[in-house]
């Protein structure tokens, strides 16, 4: 197992204790993304249908109602953003939205996590809302708004990102406990050979959102695991950042130097007793882990 990071210096990496940034107590905090144009962090409350905007310099966090079950937000080239919600991919300008693409999915499914690759294509996964049936898929939405189903048989399609050289795509199917690594061809978005990159025992939670830093390290939020774990490109567990909440949902790098790891969490599914033990469940946290992230790719549509 890797080392537990709480403070001090571990394996030469300067760490700080995770800080409570916004005591928001969102029902299902998710989908953080750094907005470099405005110098702010955008993140979501999926169940609340809200988009949050954090100014790290002032600590001010504002939220506005967007669309029901908004599950991801991605910068869009030329301005604005792309949202996923329900069965739709939406263009959003901060006030109103318009449909860019729709998918055919069972009524009990909805979009979940999504991210753009370096060529400006949006990769968006779906999930069974009961988290029981392998009826989910992973779709590729091209800049011309055409939609292609790339993977099927998923239960909860979750965290997705690419290696710095673009040759490996990482993708989590949460109930399996696995994050998979796929050979990836950036020029056309084709997926090749797959392997299990990281396997998390159910006693330590489930892999949720993830991000890859500039050195190719993979940071995985562990839902039910009270932590974010850092893995080498070879799939070796390096360290674990402990949080005071169990349902750790996603993470991304941001800040002026892209050296702050922002971490979302959720209250969803916790009992009254659990919430009393985790009063900050659903809040936003941050830590400076001695690593540097990458600017998010924009949707080129």
Residues classed as catalytic: 208
Pairing of strands 88-92, 81-85: antiparallel
d(CA 70, CA 82): 10
d(CA 101, CA 109): 16
How many helices (H) and strands (E) the chain has is answered by 1, 27
How many CA atoms lie within 13 Å of 72's alpha carbon, on the beta-carbon side? 32
| Token pair for 80 | 């604005």
Cβ neighbors of 147 (< 8 A, separation 6 or more) are: 89, 101, 103, 139, 140, 141
d(CA 2, CA 225): 14
3-state class of 212 per DSSP? strand
């Amino acid at each position: 197992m890797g080392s537990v990071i709480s403070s001090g210096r571990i394996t030469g990496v300067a760490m700080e204790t995770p800080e409570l940034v916004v005591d928001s107590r969102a029902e299902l905090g998710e989908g953080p993304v750094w907005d470099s144009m405005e110098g702010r962090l955008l993140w979501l409350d999926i169940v609340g249908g809200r988009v949050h905007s954090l100014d790290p310099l002032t600590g001010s966090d504002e939220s506005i109602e967007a669309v029901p079950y908004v599950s991801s937000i991605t910068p869009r080239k030329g301005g604005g953003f792309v949202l996923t919600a329900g069965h739709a991919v939406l263009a959003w300008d901060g006030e109103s939205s318009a449909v860019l693409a729709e998918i055919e999915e069972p009524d009990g499914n909805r979009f979940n996590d999504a991210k753009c690759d370096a060529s400006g294509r949006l990769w968006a996964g779906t999930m069974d809302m009961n988290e029981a049936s392998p009826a989910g898929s992973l779709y590729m939405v091209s800049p011309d708004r055409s939609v292609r189903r790339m993977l099927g048989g998923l239960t909860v399609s979750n965290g997705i990102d690419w290696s710095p050289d673009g040759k490996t795509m990482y993708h989590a199917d949460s109930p399996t406990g696995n994050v998979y690594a796929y050979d990836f061809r950036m020029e056309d978005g084709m997926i090749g050979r797959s392997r299990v990159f990281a396997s998390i025992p159910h006693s330590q939670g489930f892999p949720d959102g993830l991000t890859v830093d500039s050195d190719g390290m993979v940071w995985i939020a562990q839902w039910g695991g009270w932590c974010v774990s850092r893995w080498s490109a070879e799939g070796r567990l390096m360290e674990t950042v402990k949080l005071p909440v169990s349902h750790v949902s996603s993470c991304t790098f941001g800040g002026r130097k892209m050296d702050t790891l922002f971490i979302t969490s959720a209250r969803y599914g916790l009992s009254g007793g659990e919430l009393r033990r985790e009063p900050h469940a659903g809040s936003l946290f941050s830590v400076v882990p001695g690593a540097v992230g990458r600017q998010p790719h924009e949707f080129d549509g």
